[in-house]
Amino acid sequence: MGSSPDVIIEEIIEENPERCPELVFVSHVIHPCHFYIRKYSQIKDATVLEKKVNQICNKNLHLDPSDILELGARIFVNSIENGMWCRGTITELIPIESKNIRKPCSPTKFSVREVALIQIFLVDFGNSEVLIVTGVGDTHIRPEHIAEQHVVLNDLCPVLRKSEPYIEGLVKDIPPLAYPCSLKDIVPHNSSEGWEEEAKLEFLKMVNNKAVLMKVFREENGVLIVDLQKPPTNKISSDMPVSLRDALVFMELARFRSQSPRSHTEENMTLRYHPPILPKEMTDVSVMVCHINSPADFYLQLGFLGVCVVGN
């Protein structure tokens, strides 16, 4: 008996199977493909963290003008937008003696008294805040600083607290609570102009101050690719749509990535009716009868031209 050929059975396993949908709150929106959420399941963690951070910051003395601030370092800031002490990371430092252009070889450490402007990313909310020192920081403001939540102060020391190793140990069991997200497979309706402000406003209108259902499709470079949906328990009258990305596409504020953008010519093009070219009299042509109303009123389709003509 001949040997049977080897049969290789390959089990196909999804690399990133979809996770179960869960309730979340949207904490900050830059645009529909760049926003942050906080999980409903971590409300207790958020409450514990808020209490711990407030205790730490109220006990510790504020910064001294000689204290060193370093780019990328952890810090605590009395947040304007969130109205509480928050954990943050320093993402920009502009010293007083600066021409507002940071070079690759520029220093990354400055004493508090040398700083004209500091930008801090709040790791538990997803937004950034800019603190500007009166009189010296004003000249260093760029448009992107104005776009963020910002405040002008006489002194940075009262609103900042350094994050010492022993302090980090007190909150290390609670990881950052803000998760970066992007709506799945959509792009601006007009890709050449980017996201319109209206897209952000409609996004906020639908998700603000309410728990929504988040469906995760995959993760790319630390960003969750998701859709936000109406929770099953929500009333029909809620502003939250069944699918947020579908709603933005329906409102023509976004389009699916697979859709080719319409050109300006296409958008302004008027469809015109071109009458059929009738065959010459007394000639034989191949035809197909495509519709009959009566023997005196019927339609023919010319075999070669693919158009209908009226016969009567």
Indicate the length of the chain as a whole number. 312
**One domain, residues 196 and 217:** yes
Q: Can you tell me the distance from the alpha carbon of 254 to that of 232, in angstroms, rounded to the nearest whole number?
A: 25
How sure is the predictor about 240, in pLDDT bands with cuts at 50, 70 and 90? confident
pLDDT at 179 over 90: yes
pLDDT at 306 over 90: no
Q: What is the mean pLDDT of residues 288-298?
A: 77
**One domain, residues 84 and 122:** yes
| 261 vs 118, more confident | 118
Q: Which residue intervals of the chain are DSSP H helices? A: 43-59, 143-147, 165-171, 197-207, 244-250, 264-267
Asked whether residue 34 is domain-assigned, the answer is no
Bridge partners of residue 131, in order along the sequence:
118, 151
Tell me, what CATH number does 63's domain have?
A: 2.30.30.140
| Domain termination site, one of 171, 199, 219 | 171
**One domain, residues 167 and 201:** no
pLDDT at 304 over 60: no
Rg of the Cα trace of the chain?
31
Asked whether residue 31 is domain-assigned, the answer is no
Asked whether residue 198 is domain-assigned, the answer is yes
The tens digit of pLDDT for each residue in 27-62 reads 999 999 999 999 999 999 999 999 999 998 988 778
Phi, psi (degrees; rounded to nearest 5) at 235: -75, 155
pLDDT at 142 over 80: no
How sure is the predictor about 8, in pLDDT bands with cuts at 50, 70 and 90? very low
Q: Which amino acid is at 152?
A: V
Q: Can you tell me the distance from the alpha carbon of 263 to that of 181, in angstroms, rounded to the nearest whole number?
A: 30
**224 with 293: CB under 8 angstroms?**
no
Eight-class DSSP state of 7: -
Give residues with Cβ within 8 angstroms of 18, minimum separation 6. Answer: 215, 216, 217
Asked whether residue 22 is domain-assigned, the answer is no
The pLDDT value given to residue 121: 97
Percentage with pLDDT > 90 across the chain: 50
- Alpha-carbon dihedral angle through residues 94, 69, 86, 56, given to the nearest 10 degrees: -160
**One domain, residues 235 and 292:** no
The pLDDT value given to residue 124: 97
- DSSP three-state, residue 138: helix
Kindly report the average pLDDT of the chain as a whole number.
Answer: 82
The pLDDT value given to residue 298: 77
The tens digit of pLDDT for each residue in 268-285 reads 555 555 566 777 888 888
The tens digit of pLDDT for each residue in 84-130 reads 999 999 999 999 876 555 555 667 899 999 999 999 999 999 999 99
**One domain, residues 140 and 209:** no
| Domain termination site, one of 145, 171, 197 | 171
pLDDT at 12 over 50: no
The tens digit of pLDDT for each residue in 184-216 reads 999 999 888 899 999 999 999 999 888 999 999
Residue 286's domain spans which residues? 276-312
What's the whole-model pTM score?
0.73
**One domain, residues 55 and 162:** yes
Phi, psi (degrees; rounded to nearest 5) at 281: -65, 150
**One domain, residues 123 and 186:** no
- Please give the tally of structural domains in the chain: 3
The pair of structure tokens assigned to 134 is 């009166």
The pLDDT value given to residue 307: 47
Asked whether residue 35 is domain-assigned, the answer is no
The pLDDT value given to residue 168: 81
**One domain, residues 75 and 156:** yes
Q: Can you tell me the distance from the alpha carbon of 93 to that of 110, in angstroms, rounded to the nearest whole number?
A: 8
Q: What is the mean pLDDT of residues 246-267?
A: 77
Asked whether residue 63 is domain-assigned, the answer is yes
